[in-house]
Amino acid sequence: MEQTPSTASRSCAARHLRGHPPGCVQNAHTPPPYSCDSRPPMAIRPFRRLRSQRLTRPGSPYKNARPSTGRRDGSPSERSGSKSPLECHFGRLPRERWQDVSLLDVPSKPMRTRRLVAAIMALGLFGALVAYSLLDVQDATGISSAHSSLAALVTVRPDGSVMIAQPGVEHPLLEVYEDYQCPVCQEFERGNGKVAREAALRGEFALLIHPMTIFQDPPMHENSHRALTASLCVTDPKQWLAYHDALYAAQPSETQDGGFAVQELMVLAEKAGVRQADFAACLSSKETSDKAERLSMAALAQGVQGTPTVRYNGQDVDWSAPWAAPAPSARTV
């Protein structure tokens, strides 16, 4: 009749089979009992029939074997008279078959490490894609999420200027006079212009943008005038800022004839969500062209001699250095 070993002895044998060093102990002083007529560990129960065939036959030489050492992979020890737990249960097999007997099917540590690294990389890539999609999300009109947050603060005024401010914020007032053909204005919009928008979004001041034509010589004057006229045809606050930035992104060379062509302006308007029929009629209207002329004359009457001109509460501001701290009001010239 088979003896049932203690739980500690079975777990010790299982630890031995999983690759732990031989000689695991139940406590610090007494090694756990283990004999071949004990019930086999859970890890090798699939071989019960083979075990019973080998261990219950009369005169089995392994019935009372008591292994004290063995290899971590379950192969027989080279020491004379010592047997591993697998050898104890299944008998001594040729060395080339030991790998077949040790079918615990546990992935090796390098394999587990590679799988873990691959899983972490996959999660990181997925997180990066999600973050990118959230940052670059666009609505049906093609306006990015950054523009959408500012669109609620945009007010297109009757004279063609545009106010960006939190409700009820009128002062302090930061005014920007700019020309869509002006390369320096493009540089300003990419740097301090974004800082000014963020400050207006926080309610630090009201931002007032005055589009105008500063150039008087061809072809820059014609290019600038067409872009200014086109911007006046975008009256929806949700579309104006997107079209404003698209004009600067498509800015032609100062010496390019036919820059800001009508067809190009219409394509940019379509991407911003502007209705093509209304935009085309407005762009070809003499009334809109005259309004653009009046807007430029009003800026010149305010003493604007170049673009960009930036004023904080009526005083000119040095915009050439990056804005951080102090506030723009501390850098008036």
The reply to whether 1 falls in a domain is no
Cα separation of 262 and 284, whole Å?
9
Does some domain include residue 2? Answer: no
Indicate if 166 and 306 belong to the same structural domain.
yes
Give the residue carrying structure tokens 């911007």.
231
Q: What is the CATH number of the domain that holds 255?
A: 3.40.30.10
**184 CB-near residues (< 8 Å, 6+ apart):** 307, 308
Report yes or no: 185 and 234 within 8 Å, Cβ to Cβ. Answer: no
Pair 151, 296 in one domain: yes
- More confident site: 195 or 116: 195
More confident residue, 237 or 91: 237
**For residue 210, what are its two tokens?**
């005055």
How far apart are the C-alpha atoms of 98 and 331, rounded to whole Å? 82
Same domain, 190 and 310: yes
Nearest to 90 by CA among 50, 56, 34: 50
C-alpha 85/C-alpha 16 separation (Å) is 8
Helices (H), the chain: 7-17, 48-55, 85-90, 98-101, 109-135, 145-151, 183-190, 192-201, 220-232, 237-249, 262-271, 276-283, 286-301
Is position 214 within any domain? yes
Q: Which of 77, 101, 125 is the last residue of a domain?
A: 101
Q: Which residue has the higher pLDDT, 269 or 22?
A: 269
CB 212, CB 243: distance < 8 Å: no
pLDDT confidence bin for 105, thresholds 50/70/90: very low
Q: Does residue 57 surpass a pLDDT of 70?
A: no
Q: Answer yes or no: do 114 and 97 share one domain.
A: no
pLDDT in tens, 272-331: 999 998 999 999 999 999 999 999 999 999 999 999 999 999 999 888 877 764 445 444
Residues 159, 233 within the same domain? yes
Local structure of 174: helix, strand or coil:
strand
> Which residue range(s) make up the domain with 282?
145-331
- Strongest mean pLDDT among 80-84, 244-248, 255-259: 244-248
Q: Is 300 within the bounds of a domain?
A: yes
Query: Nearest to residue 300, comparing CAs of 186, 210, 168?
Result: 210
- The answer to whether the CB of 189 falls within 8 A of the CB of 157 is no
Verify that 76 and 92 share a domain, yes or no. Answer: yes
Angle between helices 276-283 and 220-232 (to 10 degrees): 130
Amino acid code (one letter) for 257: D
CA 14-15-18 angle, to 5 degrees, is 85
Residues 118 and 157 in one domain: no
Q: Are residues 219 and 309 in the same domain?
A: yes
For residues 178 and 233, membership in a common domain is answered with: yes
More confidently predicted of 77 and 206: 206
- Would you say the pTM of this structure is higher than 0.85? no
The CA-based angle 184-189-195, given to 5 degrees, is 130
Query: Does 78 score more than 90 pLDDT?
Result: no
User: Are residues 124 and 68 located together in one domain of the fold?
Assistant: no
